[in-house]
């Protein structure tokens, strides 16, 4: 019998941290009413939560807009930091235009340079939140500094470019738990009502024991140009970080870690090993592969198959599926709307469907911020940092298997001593580039059987 969810109502228009949408400046009337009617949730007379933005690209700018959408009290942008002046200026201008009453960042709280994150975090108090939205290479040291300063954190994915970075992240996560800090991470699909309802049914055994999961992110590329003659190579790689594994952790982790996290959530376990294949067809992909096929294995022998390809002119999908001993499920049909469904067999056809989520999915980008800010105001437990580490290690394991051509266990992935940049804390644009371009301005990809990441 087909049933429908009764939770929620029509969702607000989806926003993305990659793109700062023109309509994100809309202030919801319901939120304003809630702020006027709700009593203060902590003792301070000023209920405002100040936010600092570290990393002013699309993800960071979008995260500020998502924070502004939360109800329960005022939120103001208080400080900003980036290594690129043009990105900071653009982010500040866009946010100021959309939210003139929520942006209070005078020139002396706009910080440029690799140490700007410290100044932005230092501008906050214990009831405030820093958004860490630079690329993965810098996430552990920024998170570590915020935790040491006792500041609450929202940190975007991805979280670690290599295993030493993941271990450093874990150490800071453990300290954040001891300090009772509130930490949200950029896995917003964990806050998707549609996925929550589906995965509860999976955990309740509706489709039996899970034996296979399939996740796909196959779509067009994010290419970088050849290195211009005379350019500062380190600056070039930081600006085009998505195309450099040392900086962003690579396409597979930076773009596909959401799907890995959701699949492991559905399985309620993390994989214990991986083997993989991958390669590069187009040199515009920077120093990395542009396609991956990874087979993960869980402790009970169940499999997770992960497919990632970033090329033009190919079949495209962004979707996730689960298969159990008594049926199957669509976890996500499309990026814009997950539309979860469950089937009584492996044939995902209408006549076999037994359940579907009947509503539009409320905006998970907003939902994750609501949970975080409610926890800050009410001083209730909320810390997702340890799960960010677990998902990072799972994703690292798959990337390592593809890049090296080796069978990789979770223990190997976590304990690897391989490190892209030995002293990331002191990296500047004067530091020699972590990877070097060839005479044509292009970069060599990993070479399975030769490349070392373990």
Tens-digit pLDDT profile for residues 131-176 = 999 999 999 999 999 999 999 999 999 999 999 999 999 999 999 9
- Taking 90 as the threshold, does the pLDDT of residue 188 lie above it? yes
**pLDDT tens digits, one per residue of 330-379:** 999 999 899 999 999 999 999 999 999 988 899 999 999 999 999 999 99
Q: How far is CA 394 from the centre of its chain?
A: 14
**pLDDT tens digits, one per residue of 46-101:** 789 999 999 999 999 999 999 999 999 999 999 999 999 999 999 999 999 999 99
pLDDT of the residue at 7: 35
- Taking 70 as the threshold, does the pLDDT of residue 225 lie above it? yes
- Which pair of structure tokens corresponds to residue 183? 């930490």
Integer Cα distance of 454 and 451 in angstroms: 9
Integer Cα distance of 380 and 371 in angstroms: 10
> Cβ neighbours of residue 374 under 8 Å, at least 6 residues apart?
70, 72, 380, 382
Q: Select from 217, 136, 134, 162 the least CA-distant residue to 399.
A: 162
pLDDT of the residue at 93: 98
pLDDT of the residue at 44: 41
In order of their start, the domains of the chain are 3-189+366-383 (3.40.50.720), 190-363+393-426 (3.30.360.10)
**pLDDT tens digits, one per residue of 29-60:** 333 333 333 333 443 447 899 999 999 999 99
Instruction: Note the pTM of the prediction, 2 decimals.
Output: 0.90
pLDDT of the residue at 11: 34
pLDDT of the residue at 247: 97
- Taking 70 as the threshold, does the pLDDT of residue 27 lie above it? no
pLDDT of the residue at 336: 87
**Residue tagged 């964990």 (tokens):** 190
The mean pLDDT value for 261-281 works out to 97
pLDDT of the residue at 222: 78
Integer Cα distance of 380 and 338 in angstroms: 30
Specify the 3-state DSSP secondary structure of 215. Answer: strand
Q: Is 175 exposed, middle or buried (0-12, 13-18, 19+ CB in 10 A)?
A: middle
- Taking 60 as the threshold, does the pLDDT of residue 226 lie above it? yes
Q: Is 365 exposed, middle or buried (0-12, 13-18, 19+ CB in 10 A)?
A: buried
Q: What are phi and psi of 9, to 5 degrees?
A: -130, -170
Q: Are 208 and 343 in contact (CB under 8 A)?
A: no
pLDDT of the residue at 5: 36
pLDDT of the residue at 12: 35
pLDDT of the residue at 223: 83
pLDDT band at 250 (very low <50, low <70, confident <90, very high): very high
The mean pLDDT value for 262-269 works out to 98
- Taking 90 as the threshold, does the pLDDT of residue 200 lie above it? yes
**pLDDT tens digits, one per residue of 380-418:** 999 999 999 999 999 999 999 999 999 999 999 999 999
Integer Cα distance of 213 and 11 in angstroms: 27
């Amino acid at each position: 019998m087909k049933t429908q969810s009764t939770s929620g109502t029509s969702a607000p228009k989806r926003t993305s941290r990659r793109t700062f949408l023109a309509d994100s400046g809309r202030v919801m009337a319901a939120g304003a009413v809630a702020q006027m009617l709700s009593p203060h949730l902590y003792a301070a007379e000023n209920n405002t939560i100040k936010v600092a933005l570290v990393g002013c690209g699309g993800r960071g700018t979008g995260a500020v807009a998502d924070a502004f959408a939360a109800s329960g009290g005022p939120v103001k942008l208080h400080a900003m930091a980036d290594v690129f002046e043009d990105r900071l200026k653009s982010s500040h201008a866009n946010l100021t235009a959309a939210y003139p009453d929520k942006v209070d960042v005078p020139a002396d709280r706009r910080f440029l340079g690799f140490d700007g994150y410290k100044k932005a975090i230092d501008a906050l108090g214990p009831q405030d939140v820093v958004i860490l939205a630079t690329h993965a290479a810098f996430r552990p040291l920024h998170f570590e500094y915020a935790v040491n300063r006792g500041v609450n954190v929202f940190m975007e994915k991805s979280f670690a470019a290599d295993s030493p970075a993941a271990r450093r992240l874990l150490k800071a996560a453990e300290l954040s738990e001891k300090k009772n800090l509130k930490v949200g991470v950029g896995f917003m699909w964990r806050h998707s009502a549609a996925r929550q309802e589906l995965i509860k049914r999976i955990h309740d055994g509706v489709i039996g024991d899970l034996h296979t999961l399939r996740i796909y992110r196959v779509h067009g590329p994010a290419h970088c140009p050849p290195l211009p003659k005379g350019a500062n190579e380190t600056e070039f790689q930081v600006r085009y970080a998505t195309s450099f594994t040392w900086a962003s952790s690579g396409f597979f982790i930076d773009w596909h870690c959401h799907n890995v996290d959701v699949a492991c959530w559905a399985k309620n376990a993390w994989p214990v090993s991986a083997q993989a294949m991958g390669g590069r067809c187009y040199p515009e992909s920077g120093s990395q592969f542009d396609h991956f096929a990874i087979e993960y294995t869980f402790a009970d022998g169940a499999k997770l198959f992960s497919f990632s390809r970033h090329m033009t002119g190919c079949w495209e999908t962004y979707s996730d599926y689960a298969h159990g001993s008594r049926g199957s499920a669509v976890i996500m049909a499309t990026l814009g709307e997950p539309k979860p469904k469950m089937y009584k067999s492996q044939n995902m056809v209408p006549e076999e469907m037994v359940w579907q989520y009947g509503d539009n999915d409320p905006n998970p980008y907003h939902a994750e911020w609501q949970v975080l800010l409610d926890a800050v105001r009410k001083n209730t437990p909320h810390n997702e940092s340890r799960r960010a580490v677990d998902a990072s290690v799972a994703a690292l394991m798959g990337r390592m298997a593809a890049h090296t051509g080796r069978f990789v266990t979770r223990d190997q992935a976590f304990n690897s001593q391989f490190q892209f940049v030995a002293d990331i804390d002191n990296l500047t644009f004067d530091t020699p580039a972590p990877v070097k371009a060839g005479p044509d301005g292009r970069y060599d990809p990993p070479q399975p059987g030769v490349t070392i990441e373990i």
